[in-house]
A and B are shown apart, each in its own frame.
Chain A
Amino acid sequence: MSKPRVRAGKFFMHGDHACAEGALAAGCNFFAGYPITPSTEIAEHLAYRLPQVGGTFIQMEDELASVAAIIGASAAGVRSMTATSGPGLSLMMENLGLAVMLETPCVIVDIQRGSPSTGLPTMAGQSDVMQARWGSHGDYEIVAYAPSSPQEIFDLTVLAFNVADRFRTPVILLGDEVIGHMMERVVIPPEGEIPHWERKRPKSPPENKGDYKAFLADDDDLVPPMAHAGEGYHVHFTGLTHDELGYPDMDADTHHRLVTRLGEKIRRNADQFIRAEELYLDDAEIVVISYGCTARSARRAVREAREQGIKAGILRLISIWPFPEKRVEALGEQARAFIVAEMNLGQIRREVERFVSQPVVGVHHAGGAMIPPEPIFEAICSAGSKT
Chain B
Amino acid sequence: MRIEIRISGFGGQGVGLAGSILGKAIAIHDGREAVMTQAYGPEARGGASSANIVAADRPIDYPFVQHPDILVALSQEAYTKFRPDARPKALILIDDDLVNPFDEDRPFGIPATRLAEELGQRIVTNMVMLGFFTAVTDVVSRAAMEEAIKSSVKDKFVELNLSAFTIGFEFHRSGYTHE
Contact = CB atoms under 8 A, between A and B. Distances in A.
A182 B61 contact: no
B80 interface: no
Nearest to B33: A185
Contact of A37 (B20, B28, B35, B40): B40
B34 A12 contact: yes
Contact of A299 (B24, B36, B61): B61
B41 interface: yes
B27 interface: yes
Contacts of A12: 20, 23-24, 27-28, 34, 36, 148
Contact of A183 (B20, B40, B61): B20
A183 B62 contact: no
A184 B34 contact: yes
A373 interface: yes
Contact of B28 (A11, A123, A303): A11
A182 B35 contact: yes
Nearest to A9: B28
Contacts of B163: none
Contacts of A300: 61-62
Given A178-B63, A183-B35, A297-B62, A122 B41 contact: yes
A273 B66 CA distance: 37
A315 to B, nearest CB: 16
A232 to B, nearest CB: 48
Given A182-B35, A184-B34, A185-B27, A38 B40 contact: yes
A158 to B, nearest CB: 21
A297 B62 CA distance: 5
A183 B23 contact: yes
A10 interface: yes
Contacts of B60: 184, 296
A370 interface: yes
Contacts of A177: 40
B62 A184 contact: no
Given A185-B27, A297-B62, 16 more contacts: A12-B34, A12-B36, A12-B148, A122-B41, A177-B40, A178-B37, A181-B37, A181-B38, A182-B36, A182-B37, A184-B27, A184-B36, A296-B60, A300-B62, A370-B62, A372-B64
Interface of B: 20, 23-24, 27-28, 33-38, 40-41, 60-64, 66, 148
In the A-B complex, list the 7 residue pairs whose CB atoms are closest, starting with the nearest. A12-B24, A300-B61, A183-B36, A122-B40, A185-B27, A296-B61, A122-B41
